[in-house]
Every structure is written in structure tokens, then in C-alpha cells.
Structure 1
Amino acid sequence: MTLRTPRRPLPAAAVLAAALLAAGCGSSGGSSSGSAPAPKGPSSAKLRAELDKATAVTAASFTPAGGRSLRQVADAIDGTGPQVAFATATIVTGPKQRLAFGVVDPKTGFVYAPTALYLARSEQAKAMGPYPAPADLLLTDPPFRSQNAATESDPFAAIYETTAPLPKPGRYYVLAVSLLGGKKIGAAGQITVIAPGKDRIPEVGQQAPRVDTDTVAAAGGDIKKIDTRVPPDDMHSVNLKDVLGKKPVALLFATPQLCQSRVCGPVVDIAAQLEKTYGSRMTFIHQEVYKDNEIAKGLRAPLQAFHLQTEPWLFVMDRTGKITARLEGSFGFRAFEAAVKTGLS
């Protein structure tokens, strides 16, 4: 997003955080692009204080678009500097579509502050918003943290998330505004929205593909063949094909060890913790991504059946086998739990 005027230029979204926030850590062609190192993060205490503020946000803290263009909204904020990196690659049209993202300062690292999004079809088009985007924590309780986990000392400990109307396919210009140090700071970017079904990925309301998922039994008892998490989780005992249409299922596609971003380990840890709460009512399945856990060998059969080219992905199915929720890219504890509940209602 250019949004450039002599008065206040806003930088376009960069790939500074691609290695941490890019939706999808790889594909059948190999690992994801982007290998930027993680920016240096704040101290644990400071991060926790920032996260507390970032999770409590309302639209009332931000100026209504009020018929102004996105360019005018941008000109009215106090300054720029951070960059926005979207954590979803597959965004479809709809009245309330999920948008997940991170805000990054090139000098100080990830920015956690009350944040909202404004959107428009062009810089001069009328802006929509503000849409509050509270931070969703990637932190689990310590007993559920793997070696791939997010921790309080990790600068990447949460993801912003909101829903917004995306009525038509095409390009949308986005402005993320954060309340930082008593000022409104903007970060600009762009997203591409597609029509439902164009990607062939199963959608909410459709029946999930009846496919075999990997189990410890099928792997001859060697869990390391089907799980790169350290230590391995216990979500590999049930084959999706055996329970689909009989019991609610949360199916998570993720590879904690081979993921080139840092979102795959945390989402598996979140699944492990939620299984302890909802496991008696829902089957949790963790499906690894690459054949023999080698990127060069391509995607495992279940991903191909779901037409996936990125990961992580979460699909929740009710007891009839109908998909009730799907999440892509980075998603925190709140989003994961809300998805699980859709399959139980």
C-alpha cells in the first residue's frame, strides 16, 4: 500500500516478518519464502503488560471512518513506521471474514498495542472501519509447551485478529492503526480476496473429505514418523476416516519442526491443551504435512485430499461430518477454542 503524500508517506507492507507470520510454512514445492531473523523482543514483564493492553480493544478507541477515504484516514493519524504482515493467505469474500496479522517495527520488533483495521478498495475509496483487532495469545499453560512453543520471553507471542466485510473479490487496501505511546501509529498493507470455492479447499457447511489420517498404529508404533513435535503429542491414535460423521473432530494440519515460520509449534500446543478440556466430546487429530517428514518428498495424502498448499490449517467438523469452522495461518487460543465450540453446538 503506497498511501504517499508529501505530508505523510506510509510505507508499503514488507516481508520483514515473513519467516514468523507468513500463512503457510511451506508447500509441495518446498519451504516458504522469507528467512528474516526474528526481531529482538522486549523483556518478559514488558511483553506481558503490552499483551494485556492489546487484548482489550474496542472500536470506541478509534476514529470512525465517517465517509472519509483511506488516504484521509491515514493522513489523520499521528505517524507511521511499523509494517503489517498478514498471517492468512487464503481470504474469501463474505460478510464477516477473518483477518489475522502482525504489526512489526523494524527496530524494536513486534508491536503489541490496542489495534484496529480500516479497509478500502483503493486509497481514494471510502474507508470501512474501524474493526477492532484484539491480540490472540499463542501462549499455552507451561505443561503443554513443547520445544517449538511460544513463551513469555518470545517476542512473537500473539496474533491480531478481526472480522470484516469483504463483499467482492480483488485487492483491498488495509491500514492497521495501533495506539502506541499515546499516539495513533499506522501500518499499511494489501490483501487479495478470492471467491469461495476458487481454491477448492473445503468450506464451512460442506462435508469434510473422508480420508485416512496417520496414526501411531499405522506407523508401526514409531510416532516420530508421523509427528515432528518435541516431545510428540498424543493426537495420533484415531484415524479421521473412522470417526468422521460419528463424533465431532478437530483436525489440525501442522508440522512443528519443519515449519519455516514460528506459528506451527504454538498451534499444536494449543490443540494439546484444548484436548484436555474438550477431548471427551471431540476427537483431536494432529496431521503432519510432508511425506516421511521430508519437504522434498511433497505433501502427505490428507493435505492433498483437502487441496491444501499451506499450513497450518484447522478444520472442525460436527458429528455429522460437516465442517463448522476452518482457520488458516496463525491463530491463537481464543480463535482455536471458538472454532472447537462450533463443532459441539
Structure 2
Amino acid sequence: MRSPSRRSVVCCAALAALAAGAAACGSQDEEETTPAALAMPTAKAQDFPSTTGRSLADLQSMIPEGPVLSPTVSLVERGTSRVGFGLFDTARKQLGGAPVALYLSRTDGSSLRGPFPARSESLTVKPQFRSRQTAQDPDAANHVYVADLAFPSRGSWAVTAVARLDGRLVRTSPTAMRVGRTGSGPPQVGDRAPRVHTPTFEDVAGDLESIDTRVPPLRSLHDTDLADVLGKEPVVLVFATPQLCQSRVCGPVVDVAAQVQQRAGDDVRFVHMEIYRDNDLSKGFRPQVAAYRLPTEPWTFVIDRRGIVRERFEGAFSVAELERAVERVR
């Protein structure tokens, strides 16, 4: 079994920074556990500079450099792709509550596009769906910025964020992103999901801790073998390891899935798949992870009743995002 790639390490480091920074934004008191409590201003394109007749160099000359951009995704495709990210100051404290937009350009600064307004998505769930890891982890992420970027072609593109902080615009340095597959990657939207067996509560004779590092483990996410329902019923397949996650967002992702599962009821099957053999980092990836060709964790796939991937999320996502994806396959 292969070990995590350098890309995995780099992406996980950015995600870990996102998680660590999120803790600096506010407390985890009970009165702050609803998505509404963490809602942040929605950016509007008209509040940011136009790209008409401008290059990235022009944008840089107009706006002083300030925060640091940390994407939470490692793979993007040609066309519209969801890009999650965090913004940090030089002390690595996450910046939240600010209107933000992203700009795209070639790595040489040409073909500037944007602004693409970002939204802040809450990772918070109702108290009954919060794992012990998430509740007790001061570094657990509680929100992520998300923007839908239109990548016009494959190749290398640069992403720059512009934020309004304290009444003035500031920007990040460009962050390079590779658009399009480089070799074999995870199933894309429109691909048929690989059929693999996933261990169930019955398979392990009730020993949920052997197939779920969440505390407490959730039987509801281990009642279904993916191979039994794929191509017959809609499925939400979550690859995550709450206890061993390098990115610190696996716990919140599984919590989100648990909350959405209750609302979806029996219309959609939910499956949680751990990452490492015997829940031991030293033993490498489980075969299901290899079958889905995952370079990072966590990953979530929303699959329709024909077995086709209709949405996929790399890294963190909100209850609202998953609910919207589930509605499309019910």
C-alpha cells in the first residue's frame, strides 16, 4: 500500500492551518452552535475591482498585500470548481467575517478573471451530532470560505484572494493551482463510483471501534455495505478518520454527515469509511481508499441511484452544502 503523497502532505498542512486558525475566531459555547450564529457577510462582485483591461500586476499595484491564502482543496477541474480556503494573518490567525472574492490568472499574470465572490460556510452542527473529538478539540474548524471558480482550461492557474478588512481592500499573494487530472485521481462528477465493500456493524460483530475512530462511533453510518446499494439507491460516501485525520476536519465532516442523515431519513444511504488499515497509520490505507484513488482526506461523494457521482467534496463542507447535494439525488 502506498504512503501519502507529497501533495497529500501539502494539502493536509493547509487544512490543519485552517483548523487551527478557526479556533481563534470564537468560542464553542452552546449558544454559538447553530449555522446562523456563525453566518458571515456575503461578498458581492460589485464591491471588488473589475478585471476589465487589467492584469494581475495591475491588481497587485492597486491593492496592498496582507493575508495568506490556504486552499483546502488539492484537485480542481476545468469548468466550474468549488474551491474552499482559509485566510490568515502573518501570525497564522484565521481571518473571518470579512467579504472576500477570488481572482484567477495565468501564472504569468495574464488572463485575469473575476471577481468570484466567496461565501462563508459553517461547519457547526447541532450539539447532539457533535463528536467528542470535535467538542473537546480547541483547534476544530468551524467555518470555511467557499467560492465557485470558472477555470477556462487545464494547466497552471494562479488564485488571488482580495478581502475587505477594517474598511480597506487587501490581497494575498497568488497561489498556484493545477487544473485537470494529472494521472489517475478520484472519481469526478459524472463518473461511475467504484463498487467496493465497506465494513458494517454486522461484519465486525458490533465492534464499531474497529471500523470507526469517531468518539462515540455511529452505527447509523455503518449499517450499509456500499456494494449492496450502489446503483440501486442514492448514497453519501464519506472517507474520513476523525481520530487520525491529518487535516483536523474529518471529525466535523462526519458530524455534518450524521446531521444530514437524520433529515434525509431512509431516502438516502450514508456510509462512513475509515482511512487506515486497523485504524493504524503505520499500516497504510485501507483498500477502499486505494480503489477511490484519494490523495488526501477527507473526501465525500454524493452518488445517485444509478451509481453516478453527482457531487464530491474534498476537505470541509457545511450542512447546507451537503443538504443541497443530497436533495439532487433523492
TM-score, normalized by length of structure 2?
0.87
Change (3 A) 1:118 1:28: closer
RMSD (Å), alpha carbons: 2.8
* 1:339 aligned residue: 325
Change (3 A) 1:71 1:51: farther
Please give the per-residue CA displacement for 1:233-262, whole angstroms capped at 9, x wherever unaligned.
220011001111111000000001000222
Q: Which moved more, 1:236-245 or 1:329-338?
A: 329-338
Are the structure 2 counterparts of residues 128 and 194 from structure 1 closer, same or farther at C-alpha, using a change threshold of 3 Å? Answer: closer
1-side partners of 2:247 and 2:161: how far apart? 22
Instruction: Find the counterpart in structure 1 of residue 294 from structure 2.
Output: 308
Question: Equivalent of 2:124, from 127, 139, 144?
Answer: 139
2:44 aligned with 1:67: no
Paired AA for residue 204 in structure 1: V
Aligned residue identity for 1:106: T
- Cα displacement (A) at 1:168: 2.0
Mapped to 1, the partners of 2:92 and 2:301 lie a distance apart of 35
Match of 1:195 among 173, 180, 191: 180
Distance in 1, matches of 2:5 and 2:65, equals 37
Q: Please, which of 289, 308, 325 is the counterpart of residue 311 of structure 2? A: 325
TM-superposed CA distance for 1:155, in Å, is: 7.6
Which residue in the other structure is 2:27 paired with? 44
Map of 1:177 onto structure 2:
162
Distance 1:200 1:156 in 2: 26
Q: Secondary structure at the match of 2:222?
A: coil
Match for 1:251 among 237, 241, 245? 237
Deviation at residue 228 of structure 1 after TM alignment: 0.5
Which residue number in structure 2 is paired with residue 128 of structure 1? 113
Residues 189-226 of structure 1, C-alpha deviations (whole Å, 9 max, x = no match): 32332435833321211221111011111112100000
Would you tell me which structure has more helix in proportion to its own residues?
A: 2
2:272 corresponding residue in structure 1: 286
Change (3 A) 1:53 1:61: farther
Q: Residue 52 of structure 1 aligns to which amino acid in structure 2?
A: A
In the alignment, structure 1 residue 167 sits paired with structure 2 residue 152: yes
* Amino acid paired to 2:194: P
* Map of 1:9 onto structure 2: none
Task: Identify which of 194, 200, 213 aligns with 1:228.
Answer: 213
Which one of the candidate residues 118, 121, 131 is aligned to 2:103? 118
Contact between 2:123 and 2:256, CA under 8 Å: does it hold in 1?
yes
> Residue 335 and residue 173 in structure 1: after superposition, are their counterparts in 2 closer, same or farther (change >3 A)?
same
Per the TM alignment, residue 329 of structure 1 is displaced from its structure 2 partner at its CA by 1.8
Amino acid corresponding to residue 72 of structure 1 in structure 2: D
Shift of 1:61: 1.8
User: 1:68, CA displacement in angstroms?
Assistant: 0.5
Identity of aligned residues (%): 39
User: Aligned partners of 2:250 and 2:138: how far apart in 1?
Assistant: 18
Q: Tell me the CA shift for residue 97 of structure 1.
A: 1.2
User: Does structure 1 retain, via aligned residues, the 8 Å contact 2:157–2:179?
Assistant: no
Q: How does 1:94-105 map to 2 (within 5 A)?
A: 94=79, 96-105=80-89
In 2, the alpha carbon distance for the partners of 1:67 and 1:176 equals: 19
2: CA distance between counterparts of 1:53 and 1:107? Answer: 22
Q: Is the 8 A contact 1:81 1:185 kept in 2?
A: yes
Q: Does 1:87 align with 2:72?
A: yes
The question of whether the paired residues in 1 share the 8 Å contact of 2:211 and 2:274 is answered with: yes
Does the CA contact (< 8 Å) of 1:255 and 1:265 recur in 2?
yes
Looking at structure 2, the residues matched to 301 and 119 of structure 1 have their Cα atoms a distance apart, in angstroms, of 37
**Which AA in structure 2 matches 1:41?**
A
Q: Relative to structure 1, is the Cα distance of residues 279 and 32 closer, same or farther in structure 2, using a 3 angstrom cutoff?
A: farther
Deviations, residues 136-180 of structure 1 (Å, cap 9, x unaligned):
111111111112327997683211111112122222112101111
Note the C-alpha offset of 1:124.
Answer: 3.1
8 Å contact kept, 1:91–1:97? yes
Q: After TM superposition, give the deviation of residue 32 of structure 1 in Å.
A: 3.6
- Give the structure 2 partner of residue 53 of structure 1: 40
Aligned AA (1:125): S
Q: Cα offset for 1:105?
A: 1.0
In the aligned structure 2, how far is the partner of 1:174 from the partner of 1:181?
A: 23
Counterpart position of 1:27: 4
| Structure 1 alignment gaps of length 5 or more | 1-25
**Is the Cα–Cα contact under 8 Å of residues 313 and 327 in structure 1 kept in the other structure?**
yes
Match of 1:19 in 2: none
In structure 2, relative to structure 1, the CA distance for the partners of 1:220 and 1:151 (3 Å cut) is: closer
